[in-house]
Structure 1
Amino acid sequence: MFPTISNGASEFGGASSVERLIVSKKVDGVIFPISIVTDELLSRVEDLNLPCVILGHLDGIGAEINWIDINNVQAGRRAVKMLLQKGYKKIAFISDGDKDIFNQDRIIGYRRELAANGISFSDRYIIHGIPTVESGMESVLSLVNGENPPDAVICSDDRLALGALRAAQKIGLSVPDVFGIFSFDNTPLTEFAETSITSTDVDTYELGIQAAEILMNQIENPQASLRQVLLSTKIIERESTARK
């Protein structure tokens, strides 16, 4: 039994390498990321009746295929909820791009939690940058120097969050007393920053385990029901939101 995991990276042939594996029939199942999913690839999988699991999801992918993903809508809501509980009132969101589904879902959650608390949404409070420290700095400086500046920011990438922290330090904005910073992914950047940064922990290890379990079950039991799973996240609270 040979399930295969592929990330579809270009150095390994990209999506075409996955298609070659599928067509060769040398594997019993495959796990691949949403980033390489196409209608053609799904058609190949369906035609060959090959068990597979997608890491991630799209609105167009429904009950006809297995997928597993992080519940990013929930994560976005939890980030806003925690900041509101800490007393922050005007919360901005800096993403590392508006194309990725996970960023779109986090912003959906962000907006839903604001609405649930009767807080008006402002387009100016959402900035789409790139995943660099410099982009995080530029975004925060733009926000705080504009009209009605926010008192907290959620960053979809830890490099953006580190940039946000450095911007606050540059202009003398006290973190967390005056300005709160919240991030995602919980990499060492957040833990070891000069002011440690509160972050959502995404359990990619558990994601992999469950993806493998779903695939093995589908291989061993071809008639088993297909599964779509959203994994919850947890918040690791640190200094950047620890208001006194």
Structure 2
Amino acid sequence: MGVTIKEVAKAAGVAPSTVSRVIADHPRISPATKKRVKKAMKEMGYHPNANARNLANRSTQSLGVVMPSSADKALQNPFFPEVLRGISAVAHEMDYSILLCTGETDEQMLEAVERMVYSNRTDGIILLYSQVNDPIMAFLIEQNFPFVVVGKPSERVDEITHVDNDNVRAGKEITNHLIEIGHECIAFIGGSTDRIVTIDRMKGYESALEEAGLPYLDEYRIHTEFLKSGGRQAVHELFSLPQPPTGLVIADDLMSIGVVNMLEELGMHVPEDISIVSFNNVYLSEITRPPLTTVDIHIHGLGSQAAKCLIEKVKNKEEPAKRIIVPFDIKYRSSTQEKEAPTEV
């Protein structure tokens, strides 16, 4: 078995991404570091793949796809298999393959993306998330490497091609549904506030409450992971309050399922005791009990549009930045119920 980049990196006392940069003769690597890495490569008998290096000026016919976390965690959420299905459909049609990139930490993910770029293993990259101060996005901009974001960039919006929904408007419309059926105590459960999708959906929620003259309380906003476990944790926090909410806006269907399960354990029922609205319209949202009222963001379309945009950028480096907004619609199901007015004594 041949020597790996990781083994060379360990012997030279550097990160694997530094070895990749040395192989690519990156100008930011100091002569001393280059000398140390090349010495380790020679002593260990490591030979870079010449074919991979020679791909710099011609297409690899592959697209890199960066997940927001480790694959085992991200793929628990049906959003990601569905968006990958959309990307794959276009990639297959255009004769491109797909390389998945994941990592447990931001640092690991950045190193993986750096290796992908420096070793010329892919023509362009799709980021399946958008977060504040993203080192990967900053790196791709610095390298002038073709990439597309699924979501809205936190900055330089007009300079970065991205495919998104109008999440602010979606958040407002789905919250208004709860207000229209009589709910006044409405909480929001979302992911990390580093994620732009959470920020935008929460902005829509707050805007709806403000226009209706309803308060949006800090204790009614919970931020956790986009997983069933995250939904269960949120229920514990919200229903320990002196005045628990009667309506919930939940930023992801998988979290909603965790919320429903936890409420049942507490002896509460949806929608009789609490109404729930959600986002994404993954396949689980229709078959769960009760079926979820949710915003259909057309996940497959987000993926296919992102792949089309990236291939356009790969084929034409001068392709201007685009903002593609995929329309959404609301699927009204049975997880909401009109709130009865309090009985007068």
State TM-score, norm by structure 1.
Answer: 0.82
2:36 is matched with none
Deviations 1:171-204 (A, max 9, x none): 4444324410112222343222232222222322
Contact 2:161-2:321 at 8 Å conserved across structures: yes
1:43 is matched with 142
Contact 2:140-2:147 at 8 Å conserved across structures: no
Query: Structure 1 residue 200 and structure 2 residue 200: aligned?
Result: no
SS in 2 for 1:37: helix
- Aligned residue type for 1:4: L
2:102 is matched with 9
Contact 1:74-1:232 at 8 Å conserved across structures: no
- Aligned residue type for 1:41: L
Q: Distance in 2 between matches of 1:136 and 1:78?
A: 22
Q: Distance in 2 between matches of 1:213 and 1:133?
A: 32
Map 1:82-161 onto structure 2 (within 5 A): 82-161=177-256
Contact 2:153-2:162 at 8 Å conserved across structures: no
Deviating 4+ runs (over 4 angstroms): 24-28
Query: Deviation at 1:3?
Result: 5.1
Q: Number of paired residues?
A: 239
Q: Distance in 2 between matches of 1:134 and 1:31?
A: 27
Query: Deviation at 1:228?
Result: 1.9
CA pair 129-25 structure 1, distance change in 2 beyond 3 A: closer
Query: Deviation at 1:123?
Result: 0.8
Structure whose CA Rg is larger:
2
Q: Distance in 2 between matches of 1:21 and 1:136?
A: 35
Q: Distance in 1 between matches of 2:63 and 2:170?
A: 30
Q: Structure 1: which 5+ runs fail to align? A: none
Bigger share in strand: 1
- Aligned residue type for 2:136: V
Q: Distance in 2 between matches of 1:124 and 1:27?
A: 45
Query: Structure 1 residue 63 and structure 2 residue 158: aligned?
Result: yes
Q: Distance in 2 between matches of 1:195 and 1:5?
A: 38
SS in 2 for 1:195: coil
Q: Distance in 1 between matches of 2:268 and 2:121?
A: 58
2:172 is matched with 77
If asked which structure has higher relative contact order (CA below 8 Å, sep 6+), I would say: 1
2:286 is matched with 191
Query: Deviation at 1:124?
Result: 1.2
User: Which deviates further from its counterpart, 92-101 or 25-34?
Assistant: 25-34
Q: Distance in 1 between matches of 2:111 and 2:228?
A: 34
Q: Distance in 1 between matches of 2:120 and 2:270?
A: 56
Identity of aligned residues (%): 28
Contact 2:152-2:162 at 8 Å conserved across structures: yes
CA pair 24-84 structure 1, distance change in 2 beyond 3 A: same
Q: Distance in 1 between matches of 2:231 and 2:146?
A: 41
Query: Structure 1 residue 211 and structure 2 residue 306: aligned?
Result: yes
CA pair 208-163 structure 1, distance change in 2 beyond 3 A: closer
Contact 1:164-1:181 at 8 Å conserved across structures: no
Q: Distance in 2 between matches of 1:214 and 1:4?
A: 12
Map 1:214-225 onto structure 2 (within 5 A): 214-225=309-320
Query: Deviation at 1:226?
Result: 1.6
- Aligned residue type for 2:102: A
Query: Deviation at 1:25?
Result: 4.7
SS in 1 for 2:157: coil
SS in 2 for 1:63: helix
Contact 1:72-1:109 at 8 Å conserved across structures: yes
Deviations 1:88-116 (A, max 9, x none): 22110112333322112211111111112
Q: Distance in 2 between matches of 1:179 and 1:144?
A: 11
Query: Structure 1 residue 231 and structure 2 residue 326: aligned?
Result: yes
Deviations 1:41-72 (A, max 9, x none): 3101x2xxx43322233322332221222332
State TM-score, norm by structure 2.
Answer: 0.60
SS in 2 for 1:14: helix
Query: Deviation at 1:242?
Result: 4.4
